[in-house]
Amino acid sequence: MLQNLEPWAMPSWKQLVVSTAADEWTAVFTQGSDIGTANVVGTRLDCLNIRTSHQPHLTHDGKIVSYGSTALWIHSGARHIRSIQASYQSRWLWTLFGDPQPFEDLDKYTAKKIPDRFTLASLNEYCRALGIERDNSGFYGSNGLLVEEDTSSWTSKPGDKLSREHLT
């Protein structure tokens, strides 16, 4: 189903809404860079909203092709509860906002290397503590709703580069 989000894009213009095995969660996937859809829906429904992101830090021939980042944002309606993020901008940055949650392993946050403070394994572990099996394809339903923005009026037309091509 995720192939419907191709091509990878920034800015993104497609979102895929999918049911999950947990009745209290609905998953929203985007094709690259959209950060607003889940937040807007969570705010309007006044419900708990968990947004996650992970992309490996990749270089090819000395050039960065993917800026690494692992992040978790927790909102309740419009209220920002917690953010945890290790990301590479022009250097590695560590960001924490809000009160620690009971499931967090705070000792990991003292690691010397910023990417080691919050890993993909940690992100998936935290999500499991919230009832989200982020890394289990069986957690997601087989049906979804694809929402596409009309891009006909965009001055810069979206690209057609597939996700796997974006990382090479």
pLDDT digits (tens, 9 = 90+) for 51-97: 998 888 887 888 877 788 899 999 999 999 999 999 998 899 999 99
Which residue type does 65 have? V
**Phi (first) and psi of residue 161, to 5 degrees:** -80, 125
Contact 68, 90 (CB under 8 A): no
DSSP-H helix ranges across 46-137: 120-129
Contacts of 71 (CB under 8 A, 6+ apart): 51, 52, 53, 54, 83, 84, 85, 86, 87, 118, 123
**Between the CA atoms of 121, 122, 126 and 129, what dihedral angle is there, to the nearest 10 degrees?**
60
Q: Is residue 71 a contact partner of residue 87, using CB atoms and an 8 Å limit?
A: yes
pLDDT of residue 13: 79
How many CB atoms neighbour CB 44 within 10 A? 10
At 59 the pLDDT is 79
pLDDT tens, position by position, 16-51: 889 999 988 988 888 766 667 778 888 998 999 999
pTM: 0.85
Residue-level pLDDT at 79: 94
pLDDT at 10 over 90: no
pLDDT at 167 > cutoff 60 = no
Give residue-wise pLDDT tens across range 130-164: 999 999 999 999 889 988 888 888 887 666 666 66
